[in-house]
Structures are given as C-alpha cells and as structure tokens.
Amino acid sequence: MDELLVHPQTVRAALDRGEAIVFLDVRSPSSWAASVRQMPGAIRLPLDEVGAHADALPRDREVVAYCTGQNQATSARAARILRDHGHEHAHVLKWGFRAWLRAHYAAEPKPPRASPTGAGPCPVCGTAHP
C-alpha cells in the first residue's frame, strides 16, 4: 500500500495475503462509545494522543487509521501526524469504519474495559496517563 488514502478492498486484500496491519481507531469519543465493534486487533487512540505515541507504534508494518465518517477527516489527521513522525506506512481508510462494515469485512467486539478517553492503561505503551 503506497497511497495515503486506501480503499477497504485494498486493505482486505493485504490481510488476505498475510500482511500484518496495525489498525488505529481514532473515532471521536462519542462515535467510539456508540459502537460495539472495532477493526480486528485495533488500537484505540484518541487523535490528540497520536503524536505522543507515534514512536511506540511499529514502523515495520502498515498502519491504517480509521474513523467513522465518509470524509475521514480525523483519520487523515492521524495518518499525517504519523507521517510527520517518520511513519512512511501510515494510511487512511477511505470512507471509514462504516465502509468496512458495509463490505461485510471482519470486525470484533471492543475490549470490555476499553475507554474512549484514554483513562486507564494506554493501549500503546501500557502506562497510565493523566
């Protein structure tokens, strides 16, 4: 995947080829709270924490940021932050999580203790942040 904006079909094909992809869930707290599902193995990270955790995310794998909406504004900001921090393989899921679900691609239940605000242990580094 070379482009910043990637289609759900492109991501699905990469998964089918066995490529390791990190899904970064940057949905707004309200959108995240309203959903019971997430992308497979997704890391939940609020947009305002992406820059602070960029160095902890793997650089040897594709990272696909996603949000809810069709204009993917939040995930585009997240991917650009990651690219600014040297993540050449940061991408935006075109049309967001809804498009992934509409295509009937795999989704999984959110972790039972996951927090949309970042309260509790950080999903990236494992420490508690204020």
**Domains contained in the chain, CATH given:** 5-109 (3.40.250.10)
pLDDT value, residue 119: 54
Q: Which residues pair with 65 in a beta bridge?
A: 24, 92
Give the contacts of 14 (CB within 8 A, at least 6 positions apart).
Answer: 1, 21, 62
> Is it the case that residue 123 has pLDDT exceeding 80?
no
pLDDT tens-digit readout, 86-122: 999 999 999 999 999 999 999 999 886 555 454 556 6
pLDDT tens-digit readout, 25-35: 999 989 988 99
Give the contacts of 120 (CB within 8 A, at least 6 positions apart).
Answer: 113, 128
What's this model's pTM, rounded to 2 decimal places?
Answer: 0.87
Q: Which residues pair with 121 in a beta bridge?
A: 128
